[in-house]
Structure 1
Amino acid sequence: MPSSQALVAGLYAGGPELGVGSVQDGAVVQLCAVDGSPLVSLEAPLLVHVPGEAERLLGDGISAPPTPYWWTEMRASTAVAEAAPLAGSVAGRLTVLLGGTVWPPGVATTDVVETRAPEGAHPASGEAQLAVDVLTGSTAVVLADRPVIALNAWLSEVLRTVTAGGLALQIVTPPHVRLSLPLRSALTGAPNRWVVQDPNCGYYDGLSGAVLHWQDGTFTPVRDESGEASVAQAFTEATPTTERQLCVAFRVLHEQVTDDLVLGRALGAAWTALTGTAPAGWGTAEPINLSWSIGQLTDLARDRSPEPTHLLAVGHPGRPALATHRITRTGNGVAEDVTLTLGYSEDEQPPFDAIEPLARTLADEHGLVSMLASLRRARRDLTVPPHFEAPPIPLSFTLGAPDVRRVGLEHARRPPLDLRPAEFGSALHYPLGDGTDAQAWTVLQQLAEHLKVSPGN
């Protein structure tokens, strides 16, 4: 682990005139100009026990040491030209003392980098606390350029802070950048945006394709006289991939909340059923650093209760798999909401035959409320590119015993469709298709309407 002596040596990369501060309760150390503006932000080191995380986030060309290893990230301010070489010098000095690898290659030095204070020094603004690139009355803007933008601890804290303050988070990237699946999920829904800088149209939304412009301190869609937004050509012109993603989203409910309740077992059961192994690791941000442990996971959720706990899980190298896991207290007990996504090449067959047995296991042993399995054409590595990807197509839907009892078993087992559900005790599993016909969405919608009420209500 980087010692305080090594950290001091690294921070002297800018000479003794620069100041040092910290934010996020000491989790981020900042090397600051004389006016207090942050030049380089250095995250607290993270001990990574999970193999493959460096390669997943930085690319296969990275030379990562064997696990466990310490991971720390440095962010250079875009407001000062010398900030980037200063960050490289901090990193280079740390690796001289401690060993290790710096990414991207070639940026590490041990030079002393002279920085000049901006004209008319002034007290640091709110950007110093968030360490974002632009902060307006409505929006925090982060400029980023790396192969995969992940939901790391710093970005997760920025998102939490701006959300609590009623602000939007907008991440601006070049067109070659992709998002990790957890970050894509976190950014869902305006006013948060992924803004892609395009040489033809200027800017567009990397998730919806809407052409954007900067107006009143935020990126908003460009609209014509009728109020319609246009879609960037770069978003629609990409060739569809032949790779696929299998997504299984489910909720389980623990009605009996006792001191010996252990969480995460349903997620582990789903992972094993679909991949043959347990998850490799879990954590609260990327890189996912902790070896899989339902005991540690449960302890964290118990410590945070009654507030919800948001977790991530990742699979072993060679089988791309990621899950988001949300644990909440409800009026009926403790709920676990899981979305598990697995990636497959054109030559690999997703485990369709394992879905119904998984539904049975969750219903019989884990208090299943509902489960939706779907298939989509998307990247095997589970990253999100800034162009159109077809929406998922439902494969099956499972209704757990509590809702079957609410609806009525006879009513639930006879929808006005050509569906014959499999029965697991009082739970029902409805096959919807093979993932190739989008008409399955219409069938699912009709099934949902049928299951909303029981006869006579």
Structure 2
Amino acid sequence: MTKDVIALTPKMPDLPTLLAGLYAGGPDLGVNTTADGAVVQLCGPDGRSLVSVEAPILVQVPGETSRLLDHTVADGPVWWTEARASTAVAEAARLAGSFAGRLATVLGGTVWPPEAATTDVVPLTTDVSAIPAPATGSPAVDVLTATTAVVIQDRPLIAMTSWLSDALRTATSTDRALQIVTPPTARLTLPTRDAMRGLPNRWVVQDPELGYYDGLSGAVLHWKNGTFTPVPDETGATAVAGAFAPTLDTGDRQLILTLRTRHPADENLVLGCGLEAAFQHLTGAPPAGWSTAEPVNLPWSNRQLTDLARSRAPQPTWLVAVGQPGRPALATVRVLRTPAGVEEDITLAIGYGDGEKPPLDAVEELAAALDTEHRLVTLLTSLRAARRDLTVPPSLEAPPVPVAFTLGSGETEAIGPSHAGHPPLGPTPTRLGLEGRPALHYPMGDGTDPDTWSLFQRLIRHLFTPQHDQRK
């Protein structure tokens, strides 16, 4: 298990300051580097890693420390230096706190969590040679088996940090599941939820009274054969934890857009324009920033994210975009090179509190703009009862309810305008864009009737089932 401590400073920690921080354990501890020098480790006499420190990140996006840590810092960019301490050794957490506290003292910053900050020298008294060292190969992984990489986190909000992203990438490349173990008070950010959704990965909640359960499905779990697996009930079905109860409807809502765009793969392509249009139509401002992990640290730039995706092609690129402070808005984007061109799979979520009205009337105009200007393939708009802050608790949440579906003009032409425009059981679409080559926008309600899913499923079957099959 690990403890995370973060130093937030207005100045970049230079080498002398980092060394002063690493001297928190006195002269008897050693220093090592890993991940091609991106991670510095404070080590015991036997070489065991006690504290791993990631290279500082300059967070230039306003509101990120408040979003992820509920920890406000002074206006302006801040350097985020994160340390992970192994709790296999009693002194390691205090070493991490002393490291962060020394950075904050020298550079005039703050520490999260505040109670961890200290500048004391923490001598190592534990006989670390008597404690088996896990050979995980990643500073983020606490337990590694033949089938599973386990990360144990005790922070209130589990973000898709570069630590966690690296653990997921490593697990995937070695055909392992990634399983994150947290207390029941933890929540996930949407990027983490999206990354962990679907087997074999799991969010494992450790309840002190009820044991383990899956934070996304509620399945009761136990540790068996080197992984967390479901516990069957007396009928053989997967048992559901009593703690996985429905959340109270507070009036909070999330407007969710799932869209795909497809572009010719040419040298003039600029990515992110459709996402920017969605932010602009629905929040009144473009994204504040983007990154390949959380915290989102880079100011919004279509050109920079295009350059990154191009440098990684033909491999896919995954990234996060966040909105301006004041209106929770968060998107994940996956850029794919396919035989048809360059595709952007985008999920955008925007949070609204009780009494705030989601702008459903702006969706049709947005759909038209996405089609005529950004090569829309499909757009599904839905609404769900869920937290305004866009975080995910380990409890049962209502699924999103479809509000509208839009079929881009290219897809409409491929399916056939007559067929796509006349679903036998509704809904009746609105024609958007050019008269001779329209997109079709299917309104399906205000997001309050769960039965709308049946209407949506019938529509999808009508649109995407080959027509000769439908006549059978």
TM-score band, normalised by shorter chain: over 0.9
Q: What is aligned with 1:271?
A: 279
Aligned length: 453
**C-alpha distance in structure 1 between counterparts of 2:143 and 2:194, whole Å:** 23
Give the drift of 1:268. 0.4
Q: Is the 8 A contact 2:46 2:129 kept in 1?
A: no
Corresponding position of 1:347:
355
DSSP-derived class of the 2:261 partner:
strand
CA offsets 1:76-99 (integer angstroms, 9 cap, x no match): 102111110010111111112211
**1:244 Cα shift?**
0.4
Check the 8 A contact 2:426/2:459 in 1, yes or no. Answer: no
Matches of 2:386 and 2:301 in 1, distance apart? 30
Following TM superposition, by how much is the alpha carbon of 1:296 offset from its aligned partner in structure 2, in angstroms? 1.0
Instruction: State the partner residue of 1:416.
Output: 424
**How far does residue 37 in structure 1 lie from its aligned partner after superposition?**
2.1
Q: Deviations over 1:64-87 (max 9, x none)?
A: 122211111111102111110010
Maintained 8 Å contact 1:271/1:278? yes
Whether 1:210 and 2:219 are equivalent positions in the alignment is: yes
1:366 alignment partner in structure 2? 374
Please name the residue that 1:388 is paired with. 396
Normalised by the length of structure 2, the TM-score is 0.93
**Cα pair 2:140 2:163 within 8 Å, conserved:** no
Which residue number in structure 1 is paired with residue 311 of structure 2?
303
Which of 126, 143, 146 does residue 155 from structure 2 map onto?
146
Q: What secondary structure is seen at the aligned counterpart in 2 of 1:141?
A: strand
Q: Which amino acid letter does the alignment assign opposite residue 13 of structure 1? A: A
The match for 1:5 among 16, 20, 30 is 16
Conserved in 2, the CA contact under 8 Å of 1:38 and 1:128?
no
- 2:441 is the alignment partner of 1:432: no
The answer to whether structure 1 residue 254 and structure 2 residue 254 are counterparts is no
Q: 1:198 aligns with which of 207, 228, 231?
A: 207
Q: Which residue of 1 aligns with 2:237?
A: 228
Superposed, 1:37-48 pairs within 5 Å as: 37-48=48-59
- Verify the 8 A CA contact 1:33 1:117 in the aligned structure 2: no
Matching residue of 2:4: none
Q: In the alignment, is residue 114 of structure 1 matched against residue 126 of structure 2?
A: no
1:143-171 deviation digits (Å, cap 9, x = unpaired): 21222110011111111011111111111
Secondary structure of the 1:406 match is: helix
**8 Å contact from structure 1 (residues 38, 131) kept in 2:** no
TM-score (norm. length: structure 1): 0.96
**Residue in 1 that maps onto 2:321:** 313
Equivalent AA in structure 1 for residue 83 of structure 2: M
Given that residues 412 and 440 in structure 2 are in contact (C-alpha distance below 8 angstroms), is that contact kept between their aligned partners in structure 1? yes
Deviation (angstroms), 1:226: 3.1
Residues 187/145 of structure 1: CA separation in 2 closer, same or farther (3 Å cut)? same
SS at match of 1:85: helix
- 1:299-353 CA deviation, whole Å, 9 max, x = no partner? 1111111111111000111100000011111101111111100000111000001
In structure 1, the partner of 2:463 is 451
How far apart, in 1, do the equivalents of 2:209 and 2:292 lie?
38
* Structure 1 residue identity aligned to 2:221: L
Letter paired with 1:434: D
Cα separation, 1, equivalents of 2:238 and 2:202:
15
Q: Pairwise CA RMSD of aligned residues?
A: 1.5
In structure 2, the partner of 1:30 is: 41
Deviation at 1:16, TM superposition (A): 2.1
Supply the distance in 1 between the matched residues of 2:314 and 2:69 (Cα, whole angstroms).
Answer: 36
Task: Go from structure 1 to structure 2 and tell me whether the alpha carbon gap of 1:390 and 1:237 turns closer, same or farther (over 3 Å shift).
Answer: closer
Give SS of 1:410's match. helix
- List gaps (5 residues or longer) in structure 1: none
**CA distance change for structure 1 residues 456 and 121 in 2, over 3 Å: closer, same or farther?**
closer
Q: Percent identity?
A: 59
1:127 aligns with one of 136, 160, 170: 136
- 2:292 paired residue number: 284
- Deviates most, 16-25 or 425-434: 16-25
75, 78, 86: which is aligned to 2:87? 78
Q: CA deviation at 1:242?
A: 1.8
CA contact (8 A) 2:260 2:346 kept: yes
**Change over 3 Å in CA distance of 1:245–1:131 after alignment to 2:** closer
Amino acid at match of 1:348: E
Residue 57 of structure 1 is aligned with which of 48, 55, 68?
68
Q: Which amino acid aligns with 1:317?
A: P
Q: What is the rounded CA distance, in whole Å, between the counterparts of 2:136 and 2:467 in structure 1?
A: 57
Task: Please identify, of 367-376 and 95-104, the stretch whose mean Cα deviation from structure 2 is larger.
Answer: 95-104
Contact 2:52 2:139 in 1 (8 A): no
1:400 corresponding residue in structure 2: 408
SS where residue 213 of structure 1 aligns? Answer: strand
For 2:90 and 2:377, the matched residues in 1 are separated by: 54
Quote the Cα distance in structure 1 between the aligned partners of 2:98 and 2:22: 9
- In structure 2, relative to structure 1, the CA distance for the partners of 1:154 and 1:298 (3 Å cut) is same
Give distance in 2, aligned partners of 1:240 and 1:247: 18
- Say if 1:35 and 1:117, in contact at 8 Å, map to a contact too: no
How far is the alpha carbon of 1:175 from its aligned partner?
A: 1.1
The SS at the match of 1:157 is: helix
Q: Is the 8 A contact 1:411 1:454 kept in 2?
A: no
